[in-house]
Structure 1
Amino acid sequence: MESPYQFPSANLTWGEDEREHPVCVVWKETPQSSVFYLANIFLVLGFMGGSGFYGLLYLFFFLALGFFCSSIWAWSDACTTDTFSWNFVVFAICVAQIVHVAYRLRNVTFEKELQDLYGYMFKRLGVSLTQYGKIVECTDGDIHTIEKDHYFAMEGKTAIDKLSVLLSGRIRVTVNGEFLHNIYPFQFIDSPEWDSLRPSEDGVFQVTLRADNPCRYVAWRRKKLYLLFAKHRYVAKVFALLVRNDIADKLFSLNDKAFDNRGFRYDLRLPSFCHVPPPELEQAGLFLSVPEQQGEHSRASAAQSATT
């Protein structure tokens, strides 16, 4: 049975000319110029760039070199307008990015003391220069000075309204005239006071802080810092980690020096002895430690009662 649909016969054979490749009739046997290979080397190096401002500068610098060499190759060897145009346009874009990143990097440069603070405390926690710039903005860029024997805070009088970091010098911490510990550069001055209050609470210092020599410090006001925490949760977590680590260091240093007049060490894990009067503190030492002879007598009594 013949098909009701009739199709004209089509010649599906290729001619001799149609069998040849339409573009590369003859492959080029000689290699490209050295500029072509140099361009590709620069492109490979550029795509190995990292993150951050310096990583972006590295990336766009080598990309600009690569596309510039590609433009030279396209103009001198390939002699095609579109290839040269595209490579040169991308080269111009990379140069513009270099200028933009360099301008942004210039805006986040800080004074030497603030740069040292970033390297010592914030850089190791992964805080970028952009985030650190926002942290510095909360200080209004001010670095405060305390003269020798002047007070940063007085016990029961100075309000707790900021968080401060010592940049240089040394501060002595006392309570009721008794020495507690020293504060050294790149330590928080008032971390225990900061951590003891909620954002809506007010309080005063329970210790006295006096400068042993000329000191410089940077401070963040409570309201500005809490507004920054509300906008940037990562910065809030960084400050929480730094403050609590600083408090732990102060407690360990305080525990190493907590001895009574007979040489017994107080354990700061027990209720604080800072608010206990000295006579009561000495009496408390009798209960916090057991003399060696009394301990041996107790162990002997316990063994005798166990045998009976």
Structure 2
Amino acid sequence: MTEEEGLHDRGATIVHILPGENISWVEGPFNFTTYLGIGSLGWCDTWRAPQHLMFQLANACFFVSYIMPSTRTGTVLMRAALVLGFLIFSAWAWVIVCAPDMFVWNLCYTCINIFQLVFILYQMRPVKFDPELEEVYHTLFRPFKVSRIQFKKLICNEMAQIISLHAGEAYALQNITRTDRLGLLLSGKLNVLSDNHFLHPILACEFLDSPEFESRANMDDKFKVTIVAATSCRYLYWQRTSLEYLFVKETYLATVMSTLIARDITTKLYAMNNKIVTEKGFHLDIRLPCITSTLSSGDRKSPSVKALKKHTAMLAGVAPNSPDSVTNSREKLVKEDAPTPAVPNGTVVEIQAPKDVNKTGIGSSNEIEFWLETSSKYHSCEVVDN
């Protein structure tokens, strides 16, 4: 072996990473090898041709699914696009790539999205009601975003019944019928009476016994009013126990029903303000400042002022929500004839107002108080429908 060959055998190899092609050369006793820099960093030297058209279609479906809005319709379209995309991927894996593992995984994803799509479509199915119930849904529940599925739970046969009344038949009798129910009038008209005195009517899409339902204290409470059908009527009828059981499961529906009942009670109470009229037929609104200022003064304790004070508190919601203040609010506005001119308990009054009140609606507290104390005509009157 020559000395030069020995040097070559003992020579070291130096590797350079340069941005050029692979080059090897020998310089003196050392071997130099240069490798491609991009390949050394893990990048591809060469690129394959684009995948099959089925692969491209599947990814296009995924792209479409991910840009769908988050609405109910957008969710349906997203699931449909995912089903189509995974189905194409499954076919691509089975026919083109021949990869059983990819085929199985994509087939599982396809089945999952099919089940999700069917469930969403089931929830979106059109739920139809009778024309009367459809009117109730659109008038009362749809403004509160109650779905048709939730409303169907409220009016299903297990929860409610639809009952008919002929003219003259009673829904409830004073001091006889128990307050263990809740009724909603679908069609017709009913009248509310207390000791044969007319209080107010009940029209379609109004609750029949919302005050009694809201303020019921025990199982033995009775109606303090009589509710009689003025025309042929149909109403929706719930048992209290059934509603309470449903409200435990459907909390949003319970909130909506509580709101509707409270609004119905308020409407009934404020409607009775129309029964306060003067001798000449003028309506006396107890919410007027001249009346309110007189009622708010605590110097005078006349029976008439006390009566209007109690009536004002009842209408304005100042009185506590108790059976005495809510359940009896309707009949407190009417009382049987009595020898004394002053009638307590917020009785409907028909009195002649002073000129200042009738014309301008304003007056001093002394004038209003003197007018209330000296007036002696107190009796009920029916509300005249315009």
Scaled by the length of structure 1, the TM-score of the pair is 0.70
Residue of structure 1 in register with 2:267 after alignment: 249
User: Does residue 205 of the first structure (1) align with residue 227 of the second (2)?
Assistant: no
Residue of structure 2 in register with 1:305 after alignment: none
1:139–1:220 Cα contact (<8 Å) kept: no
1:163–1:219 Cα contact (<8 Å) kept: yes
Q: Judging changes above 3 Å, is the alpha-carbon distance between structure 1 residues 13 and 201 closer, same or farther for their aligned structure 2 residues?
A: farther
Unaligned runs of 5+ in 1: 1-8, 300-308
Higher helix share: 1
Per mean C-alpha deviation after superposition, the further-off stretch among 278-287 and 97-106 is 278-287
Deviations 1:49-104 (A, max 9, x none): 436xx776455334324434555666677775554543333222222233344456
Q: Judging changes above 3 Å, is the alpha-carbon distance between structure 1 residues 208 and 286 closer, same or farther for their aligned structure 2 residues?
A: closer
Once residues 77 and 176 of structure 1 are traced to their aligned partners in structure 2, the CA distance between those partners, rounded to angstroms, is 88
Unaligned runs of 5+ in 2: 1-11, 18-34, 287-310, 315-328, 358-362, 368-386
Q: Judging changes above 3 Å, is the alpha-carbon distance between structure 1 residues 193 and 12 closer, same or farther for their aligned structure 2 residues?
A: farther
Within the candidate set 226, 231, 238, 1:220 is matched to 238
Once residues 256 and 65 of structure 2 are traced to their aligned partners in structure 1, the CA distance between those partners, rounded to angstroms, is 37
Q: SS at 1:226's partner residue?
A: helix
2:159–2:242 Cα contact (<8 Å) kept: no
User: Does residue 274 of the first structure (1) align with residue 333 of the second (2)?
Assistant: yes
Scaled by the length of structure 2, the TM-score of the pair is 0.58
Residue of structure 1 in register with 2:61 after alignment: 39
Q: SS at 2:312's partner residue?
A: coil
Residues matched between the structures, number: 286
Once residues 286 and 219 of structure 1 are traced to their aligned partners in structure 2, the CA distance between those partners, rounded to angstroms, is 35
Residue of structure 2 in register with 1:240 after alignment: 258
Instruction: Tell me how far 1:244 sits from its aligned partner.
Output: 0.6
Q: Which has the larger radius of gyration?
A: 2
What amino acid is the match of 1:44? Answer: Y
Q: Mapping of 1:288-303 within 5 angstroms? A: 290-292=353-355
Instruction: Tell me how far 1:166 sits from its aligned partner.
Output: 1.4
Per mean C-alpha deviation after superposition, the further-off stretch among 33-42 and 86-95 is 33-42
1:39–1:70 Cα contact (<8 Å) kept: no
What amino acid is the match of 2:40? Answer: R
Within the candidate set 62, 69, 80, 1:48 is matched to 69
What amino acid is the match of 2:335? Answer: V
Per mean C-alpha deviation after superposition, the further-off stretch among 217-226 and 82-91 is 82-91
Once residues 70 and 29 of structure 1 are traced to their aligned partners in structure 2, the CA distance between those partners, rounded to angstroms, is 15
Deviations 1:185-212 (A, max 9, x none): 22111101112213x3432222222223
2:280–2:352 Cα contact (<8 Å) kept: no
Between the two structures, name the one with larger relative contact order (CA 8 Å, sep ≥ 6). 1
Once residues 251 and 212 of structure 2 are traced to their aligned partners in structure 1, the CA distance between those partners, rounded to angstroms, is 22
Q: Mapping of 1:140-151 within 5 angstroms? A: 140-151=159-170
Residue of structure 2 in register with 1:89 after alignment: 108
